[in-house]
Structure 1
């Protein structure tokens, strides 16, 4: 069976490898002239790293990652600890796979290295998807029409394929924006920072953790905003991020003051869909369920999509594709949509104003942590997206 995957981000690469593993011929189509991945740190919970192991990539990714022993939640003004949860060896023993902190480019490179060069078409912009009985097609900007038994659209949050399949549907601004930066470890060595921490404050929160074997501190500073464009390359104005967190704990301010190149971009989502597939074409990853990153599950959910897609198509013949895609969507849609909603709720909770609501939240979080070793979203970490053989 022949498949075309549109988009060479994390979801598209994982889908390509999962379809290869299922025994199918795959062409990966990417509009850029070479493989690149922008961005900074991402968190990979055990539900994602378990699937990376299935693809044979966990060791390569883990070698470039950091393994935190725990995560702490802290108060914005003085850094006092609200609660902490266990990660590290205990989480790996419990869920059968590690919790990793990784630079996005390192994950992308590991996925890219596993895809055969002969299966990749770079510098190929897709301008349309259509299908007929027995085949699906993508049309390129040069007028070429590529045919296959299956088309997987992993073309990101601004997915054109989503519009071609389901009609006009714009990305939705979450009314939050993020400042991102990477700082060499030596520049913050004197600050005694927790290894993975989330600082909560009125209308904003601050996250930091180590990536690339502890060589870099990844910083994400999120603020409520009336408008912000969605861009991985837009620079913040000098000192803008420091002013946005005026009055916060001195360690937070020191990190923001020492950050060199700071990017600022709006956080956008997509409205949930009732289905992701039509006939021989389907969405995957952010094109299907883009979410705010407040439960650190965006990349993980794309990897899980890819795993289930491949599993649904094991042994499939061309005639089986529409039914197999139905199975893929039935197994993934509710879980991904639930994670979308949970991530949005987490953002609302993180940004409560000082006073009774924030105090109640802190008490609730502390009580949960006293009774549970692992984060609330860890209930999803132990479920196998693909049943063991």
Structure 2
């Protein structure tokens, strides 16, 4: 048998990191993305020390450091009074204590960097997966444009509405959480002379706003919310919101939050979905990672981090077991990811992360490449 052909479905953050890491370790990878092009979507992202250690393995750590903002603290503030209810040290403390920096960055800039980390020509755009056919010796990938590709291993990194997950476990829509996230990114010059925190989460009993800079120059500011909304129209991925809607949602919040809303040029609104932990992460030649496997509320700012950790652990397990023993590799991967991802899912659901002065080391100090590998059952792997 020659070199295993690995098809990664979905070129989001988890998919691109998986492809880049697998290629750096000698695997033959194709990456299939349903979008026709990538765009710089208006969103920010937190890259904790646990993610930055993966960037180190990719040779991208210094580049990410250079493009992002480096908050000295994560502040949790009372939404009404602005009182500090938690102050979590980051900055140089994170580097010394957790082994890497904490960076906030524009999601589009980070995604572009990850896409550039794969070999040229790896990504096939405009490829929307219709179905998979596993004939035992290989997997056929049938796309909606009529094209058919084949692979020895398929990695489903195709998000919350994953076609790969559907193939493994049947059609079942994700569960709407009853919460939406408003997103807005805008020039920091609109903030005027008001000294906003580099990274702060504003809390009330049932809603919050997370706000931070997304560039090293601190010339762009971003916020994302978690706000209860009883229903969301089926099939709608996002919609435009407004300053009036934001003012209504945060009517009792501190004047600093009101000022943020007042200078917002435009704001979008997105539904938040979850799934219960899956009964399996892979079967045969097919395996899942990221939101395809464990979609979660973004309330820990660790959703993308879990996908990136998945990608790194999957690579580690394929190296450990060899791609010929893909069933063993996938079982080892699940044995070393399911508990951690499920715990992050639960804490994200409960929205308690860093609301008090807790120790975040169980998340930030984790190094996916150095953590001892848990064992797995060969019977499970071959079931």
TM-score over 0.5 (shorter chain): yes
SS at match of 2:336: helix
Q: Give the one of 324, 328, 331 matched to 1:323.
A: 328
Hey, what does 2:202 align to over in structure 1? 199
Hey, what does 1:77 align to over in structure 2? 80
Count of residue pairs brought into register by the alignment? 367
Please report how far the alpha carbon of residue 35 of structure 1 lies from its aligned counterpart in structure 2 after TM superposition. Answer: 2.7
Query: In the alignment, does 2:27 pair up with 1:24?
Result: yes
Task: Tell me how far apart the structure 2 counterparts of residues 314 and 232 of structure 1 sit (CA, whole Å).
Answer: 37
Task: Tell me how far apart the structure 1 counterparts of residues 183 and 371 of structure 2 sit (CA, whole Å).
Answer: 38
Task: Tell me how far apart the structure 2 counterparts of residues 383 and 219 of structure 1 sit (CA, whole Å).
Answer: 27
Hey, what does 1:225 align to over in structure 2? 229
Task: Tell me how far apart the structure 2 counterparts of residues 216 and 293 of structure 1 sit (CA, whole Å).
Answer: 20
User: Is the contact made by 2:321 and 2:328 (CA closer than 8 Å) also made in structure 1?
Assistant: no
Please report how far the alpha carbon of residue 89 of structure 1 lies from its aligned counterpart in structure 2 after TM superposition. Answer: 0.4
Hey, what does 2:248 align to over in structure 1? 243
1:25-76 deviation digits (Å, cap 9, x = unpaired):
0011111222335241111111111111111111222211000000111111
Hey, what does 1:138 align to over in structure 2? 141
Unaligned runs of 5+ in 1: 351-361, 370-374
SS at match of 2:101: coil
SS at match of 1:242: helix
Task: Tell me how far apart the structure 1 counterparts of residues 240 and 37 of structure 2 sit (CA, whole Å).
Answer: 23
Hey, what does 1:337 align to over in structure 2? 342
Task: Tell me how far apart the structure 1 counterparts of residues 323 and 351 of structure 2 sit (CA, whole Å).
Answer: 42
Task: Tell me how far apart the structure 2 counterparts of residues 298 and 74 of structure 1 sit (CA, whole Å).
Answer: 22
User: Is the contact made by 1:18 and 1:55 (CA closer than 8 Å) also made in structure 2?
Assistant: yes
SS at match of 1:190: coil
1:328-363 deviation digits (Å, cap 9, x = unpaired):
11111111011101111126x89xxxxxxxxxxx8x
Task: Tell me how far apart the structure 1 counterparts of residues 60 and 365 of structure 2 sit (CA, whole Å).
Answer: 19
Instruction: Kindly report which structure 2 residues correspond to 1:232-271, keeping only aligned pairs within 5 A, or say none.
Output: 233-271=238-276
Hey, what does 2:18 align to over in structure 1? 15
Q: Give the one of 367, 370, 383 matched to 1:384.
A: 367
User: Is the contact made by 2:237 and 2:270 (CA closer than 8 Å) also made in structure 1?
Assistant: yes
SS at match of 1:130: strand
User: Is the contact made by 1:43 and 1:296 (CA closer than 8 Å) also made in structure 2?
Assistant: yes
SS at match of 1:118: coil
Unaligned runs of 5+ in 2: 373-383
TM-score, reference length from structure 1: 0.90
- Greater helix content: 1
Q: Give the one of 90, 94, 106 matched to 2:93.
A: 90
Hey, what does 2:381 align to over in structure 1? none
Task: Tell me how far apart the structure 1 counterparts of residues 116 and 94 of structure 2 sit (CA, whole Å).
Answer: 28
Hey, what does 2:377 align to over in structure 1? none
